[in-house]
Copies of this chain bind each other. A is one copy, B any other.
Amino acid sequence: MARTGRRPGNQDTREAILAAARKAFAERGFDGASIRAIATSAGVDPALVHHYFGAKDQLFVETMQLPVNPADFMPKVIEGGLDGAGERLMRTFLGVWDSPAGASLAALVRSALQHDWSARMLREFLLTQILRRAMKEFGVDPAEAPQRSALVASQMIGLAMVRYIVKLEPVASMPADELVLAIAPNIQRYLVEPLD
């Protein structure tokens, strides 16, 4: 799951764009940050930002310095729709976190939780790159999608904390298959059952 794609361009210019983008996403969120404003702040033409990084989504993923790219695993979760979605989400999540990339993810989450601006980056990332897309592809009622996806996020983030950071046993060392059986039904309830 290495980062892929072209990485063209002058290294200093790339870094200047990434620094401006990080600041813009942290201050204004994903939706509020524009490629135009990021380009102005970096002192380059907007076309150059597109040329180097592609769409705003890709630029955002680059600023997060993730060891994995959501585009690599999201299709596995989404295909098949809502039936069994809780189980696929759990399997995919544990597959990524139990892999060698897991240690980098844990470090990234630890660091993100330290400051309001970095916690906001994490929130914007979860919201715009993972949750909104999955809810849309699943066809979840848009009126319910934010609540359902935030509840799913609460369970997944808590699982990451307990298994990889706080390391509370037996969750810290249980086989992934057993964790899937234990947790997937709760995720599925958040996705499809009435919650009030």
Contact = CB atoms under 8 A, between A and B. Distances in A.
B147 A154 contact: no
A185 to B, nearest CB: 7
Contacts of A147: 170-171, 174, 182
Contacts of A151: 171, 182-183
A154 B159 contact: yes
Interface in A106-155: 110, 113-114, 119-120, 122-123, 126-127, 146-147, 150-151, 153-155
17 contacts: A120-B167, A123-B166, A123-B167, A127-B168, A146-B170, A147-B170, A147-B171, A147-B182, A150-B170, A150-B171, A151-B171, A153-B166, A154-B159, A154-B162, A155-B186, A157-B157, A178-B196
Interface string A180-193: 01110110011000
A2 interface: no
Given A161-B113, A181-B196, A119 B166 contact: yes
A99 to B, nearest CB: 20
Contact of A169 (B150, B154, B169, B185): B150
Interface of A: 110, 113-114, 119-120, 122-123, 126-127, 146-147, 150-151, 153-159, 161-163, 165-172, 174, 178, 181-183, 185-186, 189-190, 195-196
Nearest to A159: B154
Nearest to A106: B113
